[in-house]
Amino acid sequence: MTTKRFALTPGEPAGIGPDLCLLLARDSHPHALVAIASAELLRARAAELGLDITLIDVAPGSWPNQPATANSLYVWDTPLAAPAISGQLNPANADYVLATLTRAGNGCLDGSFAGMITAPVHKGVINEAGISFSGHTEFLAELTGTEQVVMMLATRGLRVALVTTHLPIKEVPAAITAERLQRVTRILHNDLVAKFGIAHPRILVCGLNPHAGEGGHLGREEIEVIEPTLEILRRDGLDLIGPLPADTVFTPKHLEHCDAVLAMYHDQGLPVLKYKGFGAAVNVTLGLPIVRTSVDHGTALDLAGTGRIDTGSLQVALETAYEMSGS
């Protein structure tokens, strides 16, 4: 297997992201992981956690070509604006967080990295600093010049993509247009082929309403929007099953013969995914020209510096990034 380089961003410096990077560095890995972070922050957090991790300075022009050994971590030093204290947010470091993401994203675009794995950011403190920021996904879409991206969460044995994401329930039906459903489904299909190596992906599609509308008696979105759109996509060769009732689609009978489930809204698909893989799930941004995966949890400010955290989600994010890059 050819060794590749991956960028690892620790996210909010007061949260558990730096801890996760350091805990991950205790073990050896099949690829070279480069933490784009403040070396000062990582040294201080390692001391707080009682970890003896050797930080190896790297930068453009001196990239590593082999994995770091156990208990060591490659670091592209990115200075903080102010000292970071575990659990205490500081808007002064908002630019630092965005600088790490920018370096990672540009490094993926120029081929320095095969992909990027992100620890959680704190959107509120970035906005408090006067910077308009709605999340990793939107930031990376703008950085890479991508018009449309799709959120997919995955754990071992299940992938769930979303037609709509962070919308109030009352706004969901109007947002599920034929154009949007086509676009999202094509992105999902294309990335399953291109980034997951699935030659002929089979996708299960949820209906919007209970019982998938029950022939129009419980809503007509399936009849008027979803079914006609799926038929158009099938004529283009996509293998789509549905619309299916969401209360039965997540059963072994259906899941053993599919590569992904397409849910109509956030809380239709993600509760099942998180129940199956809580602590070992990953957030994947589809549609980008780069590979980007992330943990499925937040900054956990109250746990920063304590060592009482689980690296399971970050480990799955690494494995998924490797898979998507063809490793």
Judge whether 292 is annotated as a binding position. Answer: yes
Residue 54 confidence (pLDDT): 98
Confidence of residue 48 (pLDDT cuts 50, 70, 90): very high
Place of tokens 């675009």: 109
Write out the two tokens for 140: 């990376």
| Measured distance CA(100)–CA(136) in Å, rounded | 11
- C-alpha distance across the termini of the chain, in Å: 7
Count of CB atoms situated within 10 Å of the CB of 271: 13
Write out the two tokens for 78: 């990115």
| Sheet strands side by side (includes 158-162) | 54-57, 72-77, 32-37, 5-9, 115-118, 292-295, 281-286, 150-155, 158-162, 260-263, 202-206, 239-244
Judge whether 211 is annotated as a binding position. Answer: yes
Does position 1 have pLDDT exceeding 80, yes or no? no
| Measured distance CA(305)–CA(301) in Å, rounded | 9
Residue 166 confidence (pLDDT): 82
Contacts of 190 (CB under 8 A, 6+ apart): none
Judge whether 136 is annotated as a binding position. Answer: yes
Judge whether 137 is annotated as a binding position. Answer: yes
Write out the two tokens for 25: 């560095």
| Measured distance CA(102)–CA(232) in Å, rounded | 38
Judge whether 29 is annotated as a binding position. Answer: no
| Measured distance CA(162)–CA(123) in Å, rounded | 21
Does position 179 have pLDDT exceeding 80, yes or no? yes
Kindly state the percentage of the chain with pLDDT values over 90: 91
Residue 279 confidence (pLDDT): 80
Judge whether 266 is annotated as a binding position. Answer: yes
Contacts of 27 (CB under 8 A, 6+ apart): 70
pLDDT (tens digit per residue) in 200-230: 999 999 999 999 999 999 999 999 999 999 9
Domains and CATH numbers, the chain: 5-146+289-324 (3.40.718.10), 150-275 (3.40.718.10)
